[in-house]
Structure 1
Amino acid sequence: MKQYKILTINFGSTSSKLAYYVNEECKLKTSLDHSVQELSVFGDVLEQDGYRRAAIEEFLKDNGLNFNEMDVVAARGGHTKPLEGGVYKIDENMLEQQASGLYGRHACDVGSKIAYKMAEGTNVLPVVVDPPVTDEFIEEARLSGHPELPRESRFHALNHRATGKRFAHDTGKKYEDLNLIVAHMGGGITVAAHRKGKMIDATNGIDGDGPFSTNRTGGLPVGSLVNLCFSGRYSHKEIKKMLNGEGGLTAYLKENDVRTVEEKAAEDSYFALCLEGMIYQTCKEIAAMGAVLEGNVDAVIITGGIANSKKITERMKERIGFVAPVIFYPGENEMDALALGALEVLKGNEPLKAVSV
């Protein structure tokens, strides 16, 4: 049996996760956390490419790995035109669409940019798997209240589907037979309704929708936001960074580490209020997705780094246990999903797709 070597890159807003696989088996992995102070020197997230690439090269060097010996480098990314789920080759067209910022901006776009650059001049195949612009929305989910402002599918599609499939496997069922509500809770928080294998509605975790998170505002009072935009106090770029990067707990508390927030919340009532507010908003969105699925929900699944917190998970059970059984998968399944998706292409079991012009 051929031994395929796979490098996976998963950049979150405040983390860099790297892993090395041989076929399905993860041989090595690491996760690096980045503070607000470290990232604040970059005006735009795409400017982090040198900073983030250095982490990849150090990981390879420290573990005696040669990038040129990889069969594929699979990155979580990126923000292009809406796409159906699947595995896509990273090419100039994809990078051009990402760089435009027209379809969203996130640290995962840096990952695909770096993967492409590292693969240049080698036989390594650079790909993304189930990018965050994966779009399986039902038509009524696209209506926002104004035709010039349609709701768009931008969320943690990779981890959402991977976690849904993991739950199905663990319960001896088929993902395509289940109705699930999945909440990814990390640097960004997104909530989606999964109906029979399709992610038919979700909160936009990039542009200001759904619950606030560690560094994103989520949905805001629209009138107040419009007034702020035209107040003359902020540039367009500053407003965008306020929504994604400097919002949420970072805006309220100048802190993006939930573990630190939890510690301080034990003694500081304002920290406690802001933490409870994040939980409150997330649970409210989960309950709303119950309406999308017309009350027919097999399970509510909470995943992402924040699901490691016992205090938060217990509080969420109290708030949303009435919707359906609440299941927790701390961390994320994204690294395995990236590797397995790429492996299916290498084996010829899945097509390698390309972003259209």
Structure 2
Amino acid sequence: MKLYKILVVNIGSTSTKLAYYEDKECKLKTTLEHPVHELAAFDDMMDQDHYRRAAIEAFLKDKGIQVSELDAISCRGGHSKPLEGGVYRINETMLAQQASGLYGRHPADIGTKIAYQMAAENKLLAVVVDPPVTDEFTAVARLSGHPELPRQSRFQALSHRATGKRYARDNGRKYEELNLVIAHMGGGITVAVHRQGKMIDATNGIDGEGPFSTNRTGGLPVGALVDLCFSGRYSYKKVQKMINGEGGLTAYLKENDVRTIEVKAATDDYYALCLEAMIYQTCKEIGAMATVLAGKVDAIVITGGIAHSQKIMAKIKERVGFIAPITLYPGENEMDALALGALEAIRGNEPIKSL
């Protein structure tokens, strides 16, 4: 059987994560850090593609990896129109839609530009897997309470789907036959319903739904938020930052490292209260999502960096363990998910979709 070679690219605001896979095995992984003063030279982050590509190619050359010998480049990103989940070929339509900014902007989209360019020059496959605009919500899940404010599918779709599929593989089941409630607990916390292969409802962890996390507010009292917005005390940008970036544990404790907070919580009642509130809200959301499945939940699955904490996981099990068995997959799995998605597409086990 042919050994497929895949490069995974995951670009963040000041870093570029790279991984090289041969089939499912990660042979090399690194994070390239980019000095802030160098990035400041670009007025628009999407203009960083040549700069970032040069760094990627320099690293690959240093490690003796020939781009022309790759079979695929798999990226995080692709802010196009809302799409059903899956593996999507990066094409000019996708690039045009993400360039419009109508569907969100993220540094990861620089990666799709780079992948498209490199793939075109070397006759490779370039794809995104379960892009951030993945939307499989049911009609009833979209209603918020006002027609001008529909609920949107905005959560860590890549991590969620990969975790669901991993659980299925580990238990000898098909993802498409399972009902799961999955919680991703990292910088943001999102909880989603996976019903027989579709993510039919989820908390919007970016714009303020669900539990608060290390730096995001989650859902807020609407009336109080409206009053705050019109108080004249804060600008639009400041309020947005309060919701995503300076909310949650950061707002309460001026600290966003859960490991540090856990240590301080052992002797500080306020730290303990704030940490308990985050756990409490997460459990409430897991319980709420279980009702979407009418209680027919095969498993509750938790992933993300916070899942490493035995104390936090024990408290979650205590509150929601009665709903269904709980399985933990600590840590981030985005790079593996991107590689596996591309591999399954190359092998013909997943369809390669196009806009």
Cα 1:243–1:117, aligned 2, differ >3 Å: closer, same or farther? farther
Matched, 1:89 2:86: no
Q: Deviations along 1:231-260, whole A, 9 cap, x unmatched?
A: 333333333333222322233333332222
Matched, 1:273 2:288: no
1:302 aligns with 302
Distance 1:266 1:45 in 2: 42
Counterpart amino acid of residue 223 in structure 2 = G
Matched, 1:239 2:233: no
CA contact (8 A) 2:182 2:301 kept: yes
SS at match of 1:163: helix
Matched, 1:198 2:182: no
Q: Deviations along 1:198-241, whole A, 9 cap, x unmatched?
A: 11111112221111122222112222222233333333333333
Higher mean alpha-carbon deviation, 6-15 vs 16-25, is at 6-15
Counterpart amino acid of residue 279 in structure 2 = I
Q: Offset of 1:90 from its aligned partner?
A: 2.5
Matched, 1:112 2:112: yes
Distance 2:211 2:102 in 1: 22
SS at match of 1:256: coil
Q: Offset of 1:142 from its aligned partner?
A: 0.7
Distance 1:307 1:33 in 2: 26
1:163 aligns with 163
Q: Deviations along 1:20-77, whole A, 9 cap, x unmatched?
A: 101222212246899xxxx999999868878976875575356343445433221122
Q: Offset of 1:152 from its aligned partner?
A: 1.2
Cα 1:280–1:224, aligned 2, differ >3 Å: closer, same or farther? same
1:75 aligns with 75
CA contact (8 A) 1:182 1:302 kept: yes
Q: Offset of 1:332 from its aligned partner?
A: 3.4
SS at match of 1:172: coil
Counterpart amino acid of residue 341 in structure 2 = G
CA contact (8 A) 2:77 2:128 kept: yes
Cα 1:10–1:296, aligned 2, differ >3 Å: closer, same or farther? same
CA contact (8 A) 2:67 2:122 kept: no
2:290 aligns with 290
Distance 1:147 1:351 in 2: 35
Structure 1 or 2, whichever has the larger Rg, is 2
2:63 aligns with 63
2:354 aligns with 354
Gaps of 5+ in 1: none
CA contact (8 A) 1:104 1:206 kept: no
| Alignment length (residue pairs) | 355
SS at match of 1:270: helix
Q: Offset of 1:331 from its aligned partner?
A: 1.5
SS at match of 1:141: helix
Counterpart amino acid of residue 320 in structure 2 = I
1:333 aligns with 333
Distance 1:42 1:264 in 2: 40
CA contact (8 A) 2:89 2:127 kept: yes
Distance 1:88 1:322 in 2: 38
2:20 aligns with 20
Matched, 1:139 2:139: yes
Distance 1:14 1:312 in 2: 30
RMSD of aligned Cα (Å): 3.4
CA contact (8 A) 1:14 1:187 kept: no
SS at match of 2:273: helix
Counterpart amino acid of residue 243 in structure 1 = I
Q: Offset of 1:82 from its aligned partner?
A: 1.1
Distance 1:320 1:43 in 2: 47
Cα 1:354–1:247, aligned 2, differ >3 Å: closer, same or farther? farther
Counterpart amino acid of residue 259 in structure 1 = R
Matched, 1:321 2:326: no
Matched, 1:151 2:179: no
Counterpart amino acid of residue 246 in structure 1 = E
SS at match of 1:181: strand
Per the normalisation by structure 1, the TM-score is: 0.86
Higher mean alpha-carbon deviation, 169-178 vs 260-269, is at 260-269
Cα 1:245–1:97, aligned 2, differ >3 Å: closer, same or farther? farther
Distance 1:272 1:278 in 2: 10
1:248 aligns with 248
Higher mean alpha-carbon deviation, 169-178 vs 287-296, is at 169-178
Per the normalisation by structure 2, the TM-score is: 0.86
Higher mean alpha-carbon deviation, 173-182 vs 44-53, is at 44-53
Distance 1:54 1:280 in 2: 46
Cα 1:257–1:176, aligned 2, differ >3 Å: closer, same or farther? same
Distance 2:111 2:269 in 1: 38
Q: Offset of 1:4 from its aligned partner?
A: 2.2
Matched, 1:98 2:98: yes
